Structure 1
Amino acid sequence: MRRICFTLQVRPERMAEYRRRHAAVWPDMLAALKHAGWHDYSLFLRDDGLLVGYFLTGDLDAALTAMEATEVNARWQAEMAPFFADLPGGRPDRGFRVLTEIFNLEEQLGEQQ
């Protein structure tokens, strides 16, 4: 599994609503993510709006393509896009910035998962 970490910037005036929306994500969106190969997916939000996401997947391109094929993802992305500043491509799922992993404890200890 590949670890993916990404960032987006939530507009400060939309942070409270963004938190509310993620407290109860649509069940069909949750199911689509799981089916598309997004595992151990978490979002972290800093007080200044920096959003950091993390998930595991076998293949990032395949996971994104699988979500692209779902109707629920199109609806979710359309509703979430206005929450973000500086969104390349206009959609959160295509505008996030993937970070390069530079350290992993288990790998350096030789403990493969």
Structure 2
Amino acid sequence: MAERIAFRMNLNPGQTEQYRRRHDAIWPELVDLLKSSGISDYTIWLDPETDHLFATLVRADNHTMERLADAEIMGRWWSMMGDIMQANPDSSPVQVELIKMFELA
């Protein structure tokens, strides 16, 4: 059964429009990689008071999300995004896993 997960990332102050522009022009090859990794229904929301990004996505039972970091295009995307959001030493975005507390199905 597919699983919905959620996580939080941190946008640098003043980078809202740049973040939106970059995602409006997301590379088709990156979209293909995400989808072929078993990811769907991926949505990112912004809390403008805190610059926190809240993301949810659905991943298939046979997802390969753990291998995304090995993909060259993922590394390029993370490097490009690293100047506008908090990033780890490997350029991946700092992510905080969120715990589901309630769901109305």
Equivalent residues of 2:8, 2:53 under 8 A apart: yes
1:31 corresponds to 2:25:
no
Given the superposition, is the C-alpha separation of residues 25 and 18 from structure 1 closer, same or farther in structure 2, using an over 3 Å criterion? same
Unpaired runs of 5+ residues, structure 1, are 107-113
Asked if 1:55 is matched to 2:54, the reply is no
Q: Which has the larger radius of gyration?
A: 1
Offset, 1:9: 1.1
Cα distance in 2 for partners of 1:6, 1:84 equals: 14
TM-score (norm. length: structure 1): 0.79
Partner of 2:66: 64
The structural deviation recorded for 1:59 is 5.3
State the aligned residue count: 102
Distance in 2 of aligned mates of 1:40 and 1:30 = 12
Cα gap change, 1:7 to 1:60, in 2 (>3 Å)? farther
Contact 2:41–2:57 (CA under 8 A) maintained in structure 1: yes
Q: What value does the CA root-mean-square deviation take over the aligned residues?
A: 1.9
Q: How much does 1:13 deviate?
A: 2.0
Q: Which amino acid aligns with 1:15?
A: T
CA shift at 1:62, angstroms?
3.1
Can you list the C-alpha shifts for 1:47-76, whole angstroms capped at 9, x where unaligned?
A: 1311011101135983131x1232110100
Secondary structure, in 3 states, of the residue corresponding to 1:83? coil
The structure carrying a bigger helix percent of its residues is 1
Distance 1:2 1:72, change over 3 A: same
Between the aligned partners of 1:42 and 1:3, the Cα distance in structure 2 is 11
